Amino acid sequence: MTQWTSAMGAAQLARLLNSQQERPAGPGTRRPPAYRALADGIRLLVLEGRVPVAARLPAERELALSLSVSRTTVAAAYEALRGEGFLESRRGAGSWTAVPAGNPLPARGLEPLPPEALGSMIDLGCASLPAPEPWLTRAVQGALEELPPYAHTHGDYPAGLPALRAMIAEGYTARGIPTMPEQIMVTTGAMGAIDAICHLFAGRGERIAVESPSYANILQLMREAGARLVPVAMAEGLAGWDVERWRHVLRDAAPRLAYVVADFHNPTGALADEDQRRRLVDAARSAGTVLVVDETMSELYLEEGLSMPRPVCGFDPSGSTVITVGSASKAFWAGMRIGWVRAAPDVIRSLVSARAYADLGTPVLEQLAVNWLFSTGGWERAVEIRRAQARENRDALVVAVRRALPDWEFTVPRGGLTLWVRTGGLSGSRIAEAGERVGVRVPSGPRFGVDGAFEGYVRLPFTVGGAVAEEAAVRLAAAAHLVRTGATGGNETPRTFVA
């Protein structure tokens, strides 16, 4: 019986391997043999989740041809991986990826670090902050007071609680976008919203245009839904969206959907101006593409007096082109899994109908808590706390990274929760691997790209500040040193940090 569940083609594996930058040879170090470098590259792809566990690898001859190396080199690399527990083989069934016994399965997205590991590891993987108390507690208490009437019903509200739908619609209207409750569906977080949209509009094999880079978890969601991702490169720094490039891609590839984060883009932090928004909507309308706009970061502006542009849906008065997704998870707390969709009423009806075969509805108590925040003014006060936390952390992290890693390059964003950093010519994947050994967890750039792009980047979230930010930068510098000098092995033990 074969043990592999998917297959990796030779050309695809070669692209991923070729995207990895070679480690610079430090003083006194020797370049590893070709088979060792190949084995290390495949092992790194498995550890990062970019090659799935239980994926059948191409035959030795096929991979040798794609990489322009000898079959002996590939055979030796496969044998090394088998010896390390990263490859299993069976005559007649081929070879497939594995992880050694006792190792955790690699994550393909950006899952939070388990709480039990927080004592020895600084987690820069998840862009989420602690709850802005006392507002979480007050919201839950207010929700409990409002709960009794709902407890006498079946509790299933596929479109969301009517009171919360009305409150969200009022919020858009207050921003200058007239909205009816019938244009709102409450979801289980923004991920739930985008998953529902993808299933409604983009079946398996459909094209979806995405920013490059883009949010890793959304890219993985779309891949697992069977979508064919069409990357559209972002401009350097915070310049954001090259609308002419978008216009050409939408016209030529004719994707069914396009996904953008126009407000403090994840991971770059870019903010689209009104002209970019208007032209992007026009390009999508002309191509017949539905534009899905992720607004989860829109309230996280971190500079006083920053004038925010109109929402993207404000440039689509007919409501036929733009679907907007919002969430409480970034602006308030990741544990509050409440999201929403704003779209034309007929789209909302279709989404609600399809929901009968998914999750049926969003938890009532959490909806009541968010509704309490919106209706009492608690939301604005909580978001002010969140902005202050993120601003303080951002400034501390910027100072710490510039001090510890002066050759790393980045542009400081005016909002959001992430810093997109060019790692001075080093491999972001190797820095992430080395970081696990010295006590800092950081996602590498390729997680945010398609087919191995952004190997020379890492993403740093504004989740730590003060002395922890200083220590995180020191550990990142230690990881960069390991990569720069070609050090291998797992003898480095994470240090316990006490704030």
Judge whether 185 lies within some domain: yes
Higher pLDDT, 450 or 212: 212
Give the pLDDT confidence score for residue 119 in this predicted structure: 67
Residue 344 sits in the same domain as residue 229: yes
Give the pLDDT confidence score for residue 262 in this predicted structure: 96
Residue 290 sits in the same domain as residue 373: yes
Residue 394 sits in the same domain as residue 297: no
Question: Cα separation of 77 and 95, whole Å?
Answer: 12
Give Cβ neighbours of residue 380 (< 8 Å, ≥ 6 apart).
none
Residue 29: CB atoms within 10 A of its CB come to 13
Is there a contact between 480 and 431 (Cβ–Cβ < 8 Å)? yes
Judge whether 495 lies within some domain: no
Give the pLDDT confidence score for residue 240 in this predicted structure: 85
Closest residue by Cα to residue 325 from 339, 312, 311, 338: 339
State the first-to-last Cα distance of the chain, in angstroms, to the nearest integer: 52
Residue 54 pLDDT greater than 50, yes or no: yes
Is there a contact between 230 and 253 (Cβ–Cβ < 8 Å)? yes
Tokens of 269: 């932090």
Give the pLDDT confidence score for residue 55 in this predicted structure: 84
Residue 307 sits in the same domain as residue 435: no
Confidence of residue 496 (pLDDT cuts 50, 70, 90): very low
Beta bridge partners of 260: 293
Residue 158 sits in the same domain as residue 254: yes
pTM over 0.75: yes
**Number of helical H runs and strand E runs in the chain:** 16, 15
Is there a contact between 301 and 387 (Cβ–Cβ < 8 Å)? yes
Judge whether 272 lies within some domain: yes
Give the pLDDT confidence score for residue 21 in this predicted structure: 56
The string of pLDDT tens digits covering residues 191-201 is 999 999 999 99
Pick the last residue of a domain from 380, 415, 432: 380
Closest residue by Cα to residue 220 from 61, 108, 332, 384: 108
Judge whether 24 lies within some domain: no
Question: Cα separation of 489 and 499, whole Å?
Answer: 29
Higher pLDDT, 185 or 25: 185
Is there a contact between 340 and 326 (Cβ–Cβ < 8 Å)? yes
Average pLDDT for residues 139-161, to the nearest whole number?
95
In the DSSP assignment, the letter for residue 238 is T
Judge whether 499 lies within some domain: no
Closest residue by Cα to residue 311 from 345, 274, 340, 343: 274
Judge whether 107 lies within some domain: no
Residue 62 sits in the same domain as residue 205: no
Question: Cα separation of 459 and 192, whole Å?
Answer: 24
Pick the last residue of a domain from 380, 397, 415: 380
Is there a contact between 487 and 411 (Cβ–Cβ < 8 Å)? no
Question: Cα separation of 290 and 280, whole Å?
Answer: 11
Taking phi first (over 0 means left), then psi (-120 to 50 degrees means alpha), and beta for anything else, what does residue 123 get?
Answer: beta
* Rounded percentage of the chain residues whose pLDDT exceeds 70: 90
Q: How many domains are there within the chain? A: 3
What CATH number does residue 63 fall under? 1.10.10.10
Question: Cα separation of 428 and 458, whole Å?
Answer: 6
Residue 288 sits in the same domain as residue 345: yes
Pick the last residue of a domain from 380, 415, 436: 380
Give the pLDDT confidence score for residue 290 in this predicted structure: 97
Q: Domain residues for 277?
A: 134-380
What CATH number does residue 207 fall under? 3.40.640.10
Closest residue by Cα to residue 99 from 111, 82, 116, 112: 82
Give Cβ neighbours of residue 329 (< 8 Å, ≥ 6 apart).
128, 189, 190, 296, 336, 337, 338, 339
Q: Which of 86-100, 103-117, 305-319, 386-400 has the lowest mean pLDDT?
A: 103-117
Question: Cα separation of 303 and 172, whole Å?
Answer: 22
The string of pLDDT tens digits covering residues 32-51 is 899 999 998 898 888 766 78
Residue 276 sits in the same domain as residue 341: yes
Give Cβ neighbours of residue 276 (< 8 Å, ≥ 6 apart).
240, 241, 243, 262
Judge whether 169 lies within some domain: yes
Judge whether 466 lies within some domain: yes
Residue 327 sits in the same domain as residue 475: no
Give the pLDDT confidence score for residue 498 in this predicted structure: 27
Confidence of residue 1 (pLDDT cuts 50, 70, 90): very low
Closest residue by Cα to residue 233 from 257, 260, 211, 263: 211
Average pLDDT for residues 383-409, to the nearest whole number?
97
What CATH number does residue 421 fall under? 3.90.1150.10
Residue 228 sits in the same domain as residue 190: yes
Closest residue by Cα to residue 263 from 316, 318, 326, 216: 326
3-state helix, strand, coil in the chain (%, to 5): 45, 15, 45
Average pLDDT for residues 232-249, to the nearest whole number?
87
The string of pLDDT tens digits covering residues 277-328 is 999 999 999 999 999 999 999 999 999 889 999 999 999 999 999 999 999 9
Residue 425 sits in the same domain as residue 320: no
Residue 369 sits in the same domain as residue 389: no
* Total number of residues shown for the chain: 499
Confidence of residue 104 (pLDDT cuts 50, 70, 90): low
Higher pLDDT, 492 or 277: 277
